[in-house]
Amino acid sequence: MIEIVTIGDELLLGHTVDTNAAYISEHLAAAGLRVTRRATVGDDAAAIHAAVNDALARTKVVITTGGLGPTSDDFTKPVIAALYGRELVVDNAYLEKLRVRWRQRGMEMPAANVTQAQIPEGAEIVRNPVGSAQGLALRDDALGLAIMLPGVPHEVRAMTDDFLIPFLLEHVSVRSEPICHHILRTTGIPESLLADRIEDIVRSVAPITVAFLPSYAGTDIRLTSWAAFDQESCVARFREAEAQLRARLGSHIYAIGRTDLSVVVGELLRARKLKVTFAESCTAGLLSKRMTDISGASDYFDAGFITYANGAKQKFLGVDESTIATHGAVSEDVAREMAVGALEAARADVAVAITGIAGPTGGSDSKPVGLVWTALAARDAVRTRSFIMPGDREEVRERAAQMALALLYDYLDE
């Protein structure tokens, strides 16, 4: 069992969302290392001391992020050194590395950075392959193990994968079997209706536990085996549960695992050697961006159109001015003409269009904020779909992109 303490006023003040905690938790769990509690404290020596001390008392293993930088608000190293009764000493080899790094960038190292080369006596260095703030590990039979990581997200990601997990697997007792998970992703059915519909299955699969994780992308069903089944029994039990759930839920299940719908759709496009294009109004690039989050998207995506203004819809997609005048920019007819126009303009095999009212302004009684029309055009089909999405501007846009992907998925999956 492991606890995480994330450190930084910016976290407590809500200026920064704590993505590090999520990343570390997820990757540790996948390696059979269970995080049982997290805490967040500010750049405050007493608070860091208390949180690290509490965590060590409970689990004897704590990972911290943040407060390792070169500036005066970075307390993690001196506080944890003091907790372990260690002096801070300059690591000369590391100091030289820092100097070389700065020289390579054509600059002299600022004096502030010398503190970066100080480490608690006896600390082991957790290598940082992508940044200048190294991680540190301190061990003590009485207190246990404290590992300090920096707070910069891409550094934390690199260090977690390359060094933290191997280090923990060497020094921490791991569950004999990792916690097994199996996730079924659903879309198009509200969480509580889903829960109601599969209530008997949820009961019958015990000791596997079932959790419902709603998000803008739909509701994920997570099956978890906390019991010490071996991998093989886990797989067999999950397969059985999955078969029951699929029989009950049919096409609401669009993926297994954490796979994004854009990836599922990308694989279908690649397999069928199809090119897709998007015409986006209210989402203004979000859908295309999501479709290219994964390297290799160029196999099935060449170009997209962001037509935010009515004039752009006419000029780049050939939407009829009178269609907009008659039905409004957020309408089934305009969505359809956008998709058909994008298909032609990009010479793609399939095109998906989105037009909607993301809010907070622009809604009316007949067309409220959240109304989204999507359309799909291919050589053999034109389809449309609309929903009224809940949530704020960001959420409406995210949900609209997901809804467009679902329309594309349903077409490709037939």
CB atoms under 10 Å from CB of 326, counted, come to 11
Nearer to its own copies, 122 or 362 (CB): 362
Interface with its own copies, residue 293, by CB under 8 A: yes
Which SS3 state, helix, strand or coil, does residue 61 take? strand
**Pick from 124, 173, 192, 207: which binds its own copies (CB under 8 A)?**
192
Indicate the length of the chain as a whole number: 414
The binding track of 269-288 with respect to its own copies, each residue x by CB under 8 A or -, is ---------x-x--xxxxxx
Interface with its own copies, residue 391, by CB under 8 A: yes
| Cβ burial, residue 110 (10 Å; 0-12/13-18/19+) | exposed
Give the CA-trace dihedral at 309, 310, 314, 318, to 10 degrees.
100
Query: Strand 2-7 vs strand 35-41: parallel, antiparallel, or unpaired?
Result: parallel
The binding track of 28-67 with respect to its own copies, each residue x by CB under 8 A or -, is xx-----xxxxxxxxx---x---x----------------
Nearer to its own copies, 283 or 323 (CB): 283
Phi/psi for 366 (5° steps) reads: -80, -25
Interface with its own copies, residue 157, by CB under 8 A: yes
**Which one of the spans 84-92, 140-148, 170-178, 302-310 is the region binding its own copies (CB under 8 A)?**
302-310
**Pick from 11, 146, 276, 404: which binds its own copies (CB under 8 A)?**
11
Minimal distance in Å, beta carbon 236 to its own copies?
Answer: 22
Interface with its own copies, residue 140, by CB under 8 A: no
Q: Which of residues 330-349 bind its own copies (CB under 8 A)?
A: 346
**Pick from 1, 16, 349, 363: which binds its own copies (CB under 8 A)?**
16
Nearer to its own copies, 221 or 407 (CB): 221
**Pick from 307, 331, 355, 402: which binds its own copies (CB under 8 A)?**
307
Instruction: Give bridge partners of residue 120 from the DSSP assignment.
Output: 88
The binding track of 77-96 with respect to its own copies, each residue x by CB under 8 A or -, is --------------------
Interface with its own copies, residue 350, by CB under 8 A: no
Which SS3 state, helix, strand or coil, does residue 351 take? strand
Pairwise CA distance, residues 160 & 209, whole Å: 28
Nearer to its own copies, 14 or 250 (CB): 14
Pairwise CA distance, residues 74 & 259, whole Å: 37
Number of residues that bind its own copies (CB under 8 A): 112
Interface with its own copies, residue 73, by CB under 8 A: yes
Please choose, from the candidates 223, 227, 229, 195, the residue with its C-alpha nearest in 3D space to the C-alpha of residue 210: 223
Q: Which residues contact 218 (CB under 8 A, 6 or more apart)?
A: 185, 186, 187, 188, 189, 254, 402
DSSP 123: P
Strand ranges inside 187-251, DSSP E: 209-215, 218-225
Minimal distance in Å, beta carbon 257 to its own copies?
Answer: 11
**Pick from 93, 154, 250, 273: which binds its own copies (CB under 8 A)?**
154
The binding track of 101-130 with respect to its own copies, each residue x by CB under 8 A or -, is ------x--xxxx--x-------------x
Instruction: Give bridge partners of residue 279 from the DSSP assignment.
Output: 305, 353
Pairwise CA distance, residues 95 & 98, whole Å: 5
**Pick from 45, 57, 174, 211: which binds its own copies (CB under 8 A)?**
211
Pairwise CA distance, residues 35 & 61, whole Å: 10
**Pick from 7, 164, 202, 350: which binds its own copies (CB under 8 A)?**
202
Instruction: Indicate the angle between helix axes 76-83 and 45-59, nearest 10 degrees.
Output: 50
